[in-house]
Chain A
Amino acid sequence: MLPQQLVNGVLLGATYALFALGFTLMFGVLRVINLTYGFYFTAGAFVAWFVTRAGGGLWLALPAAALASGVIAVVVDALLLTRLRRARADELASLMVTLGAVLALYAALAALLGPDIRRLPPAVLGNEAISLDGVRVTQAQLLILGASVVLAGGLVWLVRFSRLGLAIRAVAENPDAAGLMGIDTARVAALVSFVSGTLAGAGGVLIGLAFNAIHPYMGEAMMLRGFVVVILGGLGDIFGALVAGLLLGVIEVLTAGYLASGLKEAVAFAILVLVLWTRPAGLFGRPVARRV
């Protein structure tokens, strides 16, 4: 039983990590608790649903969903947050505006498409499990695990080693100084929103596929876990989010499997609070939290 539980934990953790990658980037660089992030996740899943219904395969649906979510994220950022950034409004105002936006977006989607759960057509990706020595995993779960590792790696490369990444890190460190140094901060903000949005969209497709359930409020349900992972990993720390996601998944599964299933959530949040009390910069954090 233990090997299967550990695999369960890693796979669950991979979904948390996949969800949190874009969230931690957006959160860490733009310094905003953007509550609309969960909606990009939902939107990606629905775009994939429409594409596959129209006959497209997963390899068309996935990029289409990622692209669409990225564009939505840029539009939301341009319409709502850019204004506030320019007016130097405090983080409360940004939090509030994304709250209003996400309420309206979820409700609009539910009104348009109905609150029912949908599934991607079974032909998109087989959900039969592969059994290895009695431990069972599905293709979708392996895809999620692979995707979160590859995406985390790609993101770290982008931020650490590309010219663009330098600009992103500069903005994350100090937007004013970055602006004085000739970095187009508005462009960086748009870019970060786009990348985060695509990550959320891709996550929505893969996680929707693994759990076989797509519905308007699916992103909302992930947000609280997203907070936990982002904080445990350290704000803006991509690699930290990956490790923290996996760790959280394993802890939750072991709690449910060996302690009591009712305590699964409580343990996750108790760990969050304890980490914040003792190591506010995250489990792996250096004192300055603002690292990418």
Chain B
Amino acid sequence: MSVPPWLSDLFWTYQNVVVSLGVNGLLALSMYVVLAAGQLSLGQAAFMGLGAYASALLTLRLHAPFWAVLPAAMLVPVAFALLVGGPTLRLAGVYLAIATIGLGEVLRAVYLNVDALGGALGLSGIPEAAPLWLIYALLAAALLVFWRIGRSRVGRAMEAMRSDETAALAMGVNVRRYRLATLVASAALAGLAGALSAHSTDFIGPNDYGFEPAVSILSFALLGGIGSPIAPVVGAVVLTLLPELMRGFAELRLILNGVVIVLAVLFLPRGLVAWRMRRRAA
């Protein structure tokens, strides 16, 4: 059985878009997990960068096999999250958002100034080792896990934290532990996404993980909504495809991209996917 050439051409043409859809889906989930616990963190791009750099360095310098690289790409951002998590998680709302932006910028300065990390030239020649099926299998697995958690007691605790933290505390929810746990889960997922994307595009640079990508990742989750894990993934799909569909409009596509976000927030306040998961009775 062979694939007809037009089909393989079609697939080849959009291969990078298909990879981006999967990677951005994982990033959207990494955003979802912190938002679902009521935290506005903008550190996901920084975690992604840590995963991408750690995995690329392992592959390029130590020639580590891909299956060993992936867990390391999750461990490095998790270690970073644990290191900064204590003092950072005491912050709430906009303070947390700005602290995480600051951490991202500090990391960017590290990539730029340390020559062993490639500086502004970044790291190139990363083999395309991430198979497409793996990206989607991991995305599906993450969705499934979040789905199960969302319907469990843990999910209820997180929702309580989101709507009223003081009340959640009074109800006996260990808010601190949940916050750290969601941050760790978020870091692991973003690091994984970073490694997968680094191993499908050959080249990474320090500017791929700054303020702008951080805001894009946030917009995936906000556009899709956070009522269920599937919603942010839908948001990621829409925002990844939108610029591709509007290719050829030059500046107009940047304008339309912004207008779509504005309209979605104003007229779909719960996101594109407003439907919420039902939980089991306690």
Bind each other: yes
Residues of A within 8 A of B (CB): 27, 31, 33, 80, 83-84, 87, 89, 91-93, 95-97, 99-108, 110-111, 224, 227-228, 231, 235, 260, 262-263, 265-266, 269-270, 272-273, 276-278, 280
In the complex, B64 has a CB within 8 A of chain A: no
* 6 nearest CB pairs, A to B: A100-B261, A104-B258, A103-B258, A266-B109, A107-B254, A111-B251
Q: How far is the CA of A104 from the CA of B264 in the complex (A)?
A: 14
Looking at the complex, which one of A91, A103, A108 makes contact with B261 (CB distance below 8 Å)?
A103
Q: A31-B94, A91-B93 provided; 5 other pairs, C-beta below 8 A? A: A87-B269, A101-B262, A103-B255, A273-B99, A273-B106
Q: How far is the CA of A144 from the CA of B249 in the complex (A)?
A: 40
Specify which of A103, A105, A106 lies most central, judged by the most chain B CB atoms within 10 Å of its CB: A103
B residues in contact with A266, CB < 8 Å: 105-106, 109-110, 113
Q: How far is the CA of A101 from the CA of B258 in the complex (A)?
A: 6
CB <8 Å contact, B106 and A105: no
Given contacts A104-B259, A108-B255, A266-B109, contact A280 B101 (CB under 8 A): no
Looking at the complex, which one of B93, B94, B258 makes contact with A107 (CB distance below 8 Å)?
B258
Residue of A nearest to B96 (CB): A276
Q: How far is the CA of A103 from the CA of B84 in the complex (A)?
A: 31
A residues in contact with B109, CB < 8 Å: 262-263, 265-266, 269
Q: Could you write out 22 A-B pairs with CB less than 8 Å apart?
A: A89-B269, A91-B40, A92-B222, A95-B218, A96-B218, A96-B223, A100-B264, A104-B255, A107-B251, A224-B211, A231-B95, A235-B94, A265-B105, A265-B109, A266-B106, A269-B109, A273-B84, A273-B106, A277-B87, A278-B87, A280-B90, A280-B91
CB <8 Å contact, A100 and B94: no
Given contacts A102-B258, A107-B254, contact A280 B40 (CB under 8 A): no
CB <8 Å contact, A103 and B254: yes
Q: How far is the CA of A31 from the CA of B40 in the complex (A)?
A: 14
Residue of B nearest to A94 (CB): B265
CB <8 Å contact, B106 and A269: yes
Q: How far is the CA of A32 from the CA of B33 in the complex (A)?
A: 23
A residues in contact with B256, CB < 8 Å: 104
In the complex, B98 has a CB within 8 A of chain A: yes
Looking at the complex, which one of A97, A107, A108, A235 makes contact with B265 (CB distance below 8 Å)?
A97
A residues in contact with B105, CB < 8 Å: 224, 265-266, 269
Residue of A nearest to B211 (CB): A224
CB <8 Å contact, B88 and A272: no
In the complex, B60 has a CB within 8 A of chain A: no
A residues in contact with B265, CB < 8 Å: 84, 93, 96-97, 100
B residues in contact with A111, CB < 8 Å: 250-252, 255
Closest Cβ–Cβ distance, residue A191 to chain B (whole Å): 22
Residues of B within 8 A of A (CB): 35, 40, 84, 87-88, 90-91, 93-95, 97-99, 101-103, 105-106, 109-110, 112-113, 211, 215, 218-219, 222-223, 250-252, 254-266, 269
B residues in contact with A33, CB < 8 Å: 94, 97
Closest Cβ–Cβ distance, residue A288 to chain B (whole Å): 13
Residue of A nearest to B40 (CB): A92
B residues in contact with A270, CB < 8 Å: 102, 106
Residue of B nearest to A267 (CB): B109
Residue of A nearest to B88 (CB): A277
CB <8 Å contact, A96 and B258: no
Q: How far is the CA of A37 from the CA of B120 in the complex (A)?
A: 29
Residue of B nearest to A112 (CB): B251
B residues in contact with A231, CB < 8 Å: 95, 98
Closest Cβ–Cβ distance, residue B102 to chain A (whole Å): 4
Closest Cβ–Cβ distance, residue B100 to chain A (whole Å): 9
Closest Cβ–Cβ distance, residue A136 to chain B (whole Å): 29
Looking at the complex, which one of B101, B112, B219 makes contact with A96 (CB distance below 8 Å)?
B219
Looking at the complex, which one of B40, B87, B102, B112 makes contact with A269 (CB distance below 8 Å)?
B102
Specify which of B40, B109, B110 lies most central, judged by the most chain A CB atoms within 10 Å of its CB: B109
Q: How far is the CA of A246 from the CA of B112 in the complex (A)?
A: 26
